[in-house]
Structure 1
Amino acid sequence: MSAEPSSSKRPRCLDLSRLVSRVGRGPLTGVDRVERAYLDRLLSEDAPLYALIRQPLSFALLDREGVALLAERLDGGGQWGRADLRGLLNRRLNALQRRVHADIRRLARASCPRPRLSAMLARHLPKGTRYLNVGHSNLTERVLTAFRAQGAEISVLIHDMIPLDYPQYQREGQPEKFEAAMRRVSRHATRLICNSKDTRNRTAHWFGQFGRMPEATVALLGVERPAPRPGDLPEGLPTDTPYFVTTGTIEPRKNHALLLDAWEKLAEMPGETPALFIIGSRGWNNEAVFARLNALRSSGAPVHELPGLSDGAVAALTAGAHAALFPSHAEGFGLPPAEALALGTPALANNLSVYREFLGELPVYLDGNDSYLWAKTIYEMATTNGAGPSDEVELATLPTWESHFNTVLSVT
């Protein structure tokens, strides 16, 4: 009997269904970026690598060569090929999606109808392959039982338990859908990867109710200094006077209402009201905030919505801000405040335990329900000489991807 390969040589299968689903849908979200970090790191490892991708009515399995070519296309360095007949017959896909899925079929080592997944894995995956799902796009009973049938170890990265902790902030039906997925993870996963101790504690609470808590490894996500690209910014933004930014989908959990309250108070204070740039798209269950934003736009108030900015534009705008503002009611991790700090921009944040865990005393913590305190602090920052961007925070003080993967790849 041959010895089991060392952790650095273990065959791994990374689920890339989420990244593929995001093609053509604008800048990557936080979870998307985590999946991309795993893709890049596993491609750099000298070990067998596979990727599973859910497609319409089927699954595709890529080997290392196919994964590398897919990564090039996701980067924009490779062009998507022509749509094939199967794609052209699928009216639910747009033109780009037809090309993407046709290319994946061409790159695939194997593909199969969904009911044949277990047979495809048995035929094409080496024994001992470890399945990694960090994007949550494919946590179905079919997928998890198919890998279990191969004797595979299953590792799932848990980003947060917010849909269960704060169901009032979710789309209708989302808490139930999320709970069903987490119950499947509770039954089938070999190991959980938690992005913080806070997430692990919240996961343990819920999984204890589900009946089983798999072994959990805590690995803080890596923080990288974003690369500003001022040339990507829209023309005409009022960036020559003090301004502040907030980054994230405009949804109830992000607490944009507090910032709008604060800006109403700022308008009553002496001097010119600073600008607020809201970087992100409109989300859900937030009609009152949307109505206020529409009214502010009509009134000419210095509050600007900026959806769809590139990562480079977000970094450029953040780097020049007097501060980045994060009054969220809840976060699973929270990369934007860490990235703002890495750019040398002060961060004002709600006093959340997860921020305390990985950012320590670097941000300025304010009560997420006290709009007057936020307005007063923002006013002082906007009017005090020397306020605004400062020296960049040493990245050594922030968690790194190297540390994350050293922890994760030693156990998966």
Structure 2
Amino acid sequence: MTGVDRVEFAYLRRLVAEPEMLFGLVRSAFGYILLDRQGCEHFLNAFPDASFGPADRLSGIKRGMHDARARAESHLRRHCLDRCLPLRLGRMLRKHVPSGTCYLNTGHSNLTDRVLSAVKSVQDARVAVFVHDTIPLDYPQYQRPGNDDQFRMFLQRAGRSADLLICNSDQTEADVLRHLAPLSPQTAVAHLGVDMPDAGSPPEGPWTGQPFFVCLGTIEPRKNHELLLDIWPEIEDAHLLICGSRGWNNDAVFARLDQKPSRVHELNGLTDGQIVGLMQQSVAALFPSLAEGYGLPPAEAAALGVPVICNDLPIYREILGNIPVYASADDLYLWTAKIKVLKQEQTLAKIRLRKGAAVPTWEAHFKTVLRLV
């Protein structure tokens, strides 16, 4: 899952465990699906293994729908409280949802005028929107064409209509208020929690039994894999494992990876458990990102006790303090030197007892959020 996916999953998991009434609103290919608590539990239990069952006949009407989506939407329809065409969304919500309900949007998607109008038609309803970052506006060069305009509309809509904007950091809150000025919406900061899955058996390869470093994240321009490819010929007797799927607009890096550079390995499709297993065996985790909204992977590595080298970004300083080794992405010499030092220390120590660093928890996050919504 992506970072945003992990946040949405954490919210679903926590809210299902809360005693209050719970509903889930899903936009499907054929309108909207409304889940009650039981329906949300069914989805939560089915999601990790994608055990959604077969696609129904309705999904077969929509040409080109991915099989996984067809099965997921069919599963949701089988366990729904109600469903409707888009024009009847307000009527469906008023029929089932009690007054005083708070609508939580946690994923930067589906916050449309239609949804907001329908939610607001429920008596005394409130709206809380989670804003993960403002990267599309601050770094449009790293976005798909048009993403900045789409995000700008989302943020303006949230700023005008939401009763609360939840931000994952002080940095994000400052960025949100800067972009929304002169609007001054109510905001709250709640750092994201870090909870690690159990370690699985890591994949084996030429790196097995040898010193190796891990870089975790989608292979896209702002993750700056190019820096690591530039310096790796100088890192002798160590492997680089790039764990993540290929993104977009990064043809130069893809071409270099296709050439199979020495001691550089591209791994995708790994499970969370496999990644944890690799992290635990690695010398260090490397994050030369040029921009980040939060940076869950470095926090996860720190929680495992894995040394972290990362670009000197304000968000990393806020979340991780002095835990990582910081090196400016402009300084290739410093990155090379820091990696060599860690490799040498690992080689000399042979076996190092690692103790995880104290990082933010989901319990603290929800203690802040749930008292406000």
Which TM-score band (shorter chain)? over 0.9
Q: Which of 229, 244, 249 in structure 2 is aligned with 1:280?
A: 244
Name the CA shift for 1:250/1:75 in 2 (closer, same or farther; >3 Å).
closer
With structure 1 as the length reference, what TM-score do the two structures score? Answer: 0.87
Contact 1:223 1:399 in 2 (8 A): yes
Q: Which of 257, 281, 288 in structure 2 is aligned with 1:293?
A: 257
Q: Which of 192, 195, 205 in structure 2 is aligned with 1:236?
A: 205
Distance 1:213 1:285 in 2: 35
Contact 1:228 1:315 in 2 (8 A): yes
With structure 2 as the length reference, what TM-score do the two structures score? Answer: 0.95
Equivalent residue, structure 1, for 2:226: 257
Task: Pick which of 377-386 and 37-46 moved more.
Answer: 377-386
Distance 1:280 1:140 in 2: 31
Contact 1:332 1:354 in 2 (8 A): yes
Equivalent residue, structure 1, for 2:92: 120
Distance 2:214 2:350 in 1: 15
Name the CA shift for 1:35/1:41 in 2 (closer, same or farther; >3 Å).
same
Deviation for aligned residue 1:174: 1.1
Q: Which residues of structure 2 form unaligned runs of 5+? A: none
Equivalent residue, structure 2, for 1:215: 186
Deviation for aligned residue 1:213: 3.1
Aligned residues: CA RMSD = 1.6
Equivalent residue, structure 2, for 1:67: 40
Deviation for aligned residue 1:387: 7.5
SS at match of 2:249: coil
2:31 matches 1:58: yes
Identity %: 46
SS at match of 2:23: strand
Ranked by relative contact order (alpha carbons within 8 Å, sequence separation 6 or more), the top structure is 1
Distance 1:277 1:360 in 2: 26
Deviation for aligned residue 1:237: 4.3
User: What one-letter code is carried by the residue in structure 1 that aligns with 2:210?
Assistant: T
For residues 240-285 of structure 1, the C-alpha deviation after alignment (integer angstroms, 9 at most, x for no partner) is 111101100111111111111111333xxxxx43100000011111
Distance 1:32 1:62 in 2: 19
Report how many aligned residue pairs link the two structures.
Answer: 370
Deviation for aligned residue 1:93: 1.4
Q: Which of 333, 345, 356 in structure 2 is aligned with 1:393?
A: 356
Q: Which residues of structure 1 form unaligned runs of 5+? A: 1-27, 267-271
Equivalent residue, structure 2, for 1:12: none
Equivalent residue, structure 2, for 1:160: 133
SS at match of 1:407: helix
Aligned pairs for 1:136-175 within 5 A = 136-150=108-122, 151-175=124-148
Equivalent residue, structure 1, for 2:285: 324
Distance 2:87 2:107 in 1: 22
Contact 1:345 1:388 in 2 (8 A): no
For residues 296-326 of structure 1, the C-alpha deviation after alignment (integer angstroms, 9 at most, x for no partner) is x0x5x00000011100011111111111001
Task: Pick which of 114-123 and 143-152 moved more.
Answer: 143-152
Distance 2:10 2:206 in 1: 32
